[in-house]
Amino acid sequence: MCLEGVPIVSNDIVDLDATDPGYKADPYPIYAELRSSAPVRRITLNGMPAWLVTRYPDVRRLLADPRLSNSTGQPESAAGPSRRLGAG
């Protein structure tokens, strides 16, 4: 799915390290990059798999969707290459 040429969801998995000093000092450029390239993205945060939704209207819509869950079940296998952001 695309909006004005920008994919909304990306299968690339981004590895975010919240303990990295560069990320801790200023995470906002990373969020801006993710928002501009694909506002909904699979990530690992300190090794834990998750989804990151970077636009407020998308977050509101997803939180209101009863099909979504915070289940701690095993996530699907990773579909796509992992790349690391925030390493300083």
Q: Which residue has the higher pLDDT, 74 or 29?
A: 29
pLDDT at residue 55 is higher than 50: yes
Domain range enclosing 37: 2-65+79-85
- How many separate domains does the chain show? 1
Residue pair 38/8 in contact (Cβ under 8 Å)? The answer is: yes
Residue 74 forms part of a structural domain: no
Q: What is the CA radius of gyration of the chain?
A: 13
Dihedral pair phi/psi, residue 39, rounded to 5°: -70, -15
Nearest to 55 by CA among 41, 39, 68: 39
Rounded-to-integer distance, Cα 82 and Cα 68, Å: 24
The answer as to whether 16 is a domain residue is: yes
**pTM recorded for the entire structure:** 0.61
Do the beta carbons of residue 32 and residue 39 sit within 8 Å?
no
In the predicted model, what is the mean pLDDT of the chain? Answer: 77
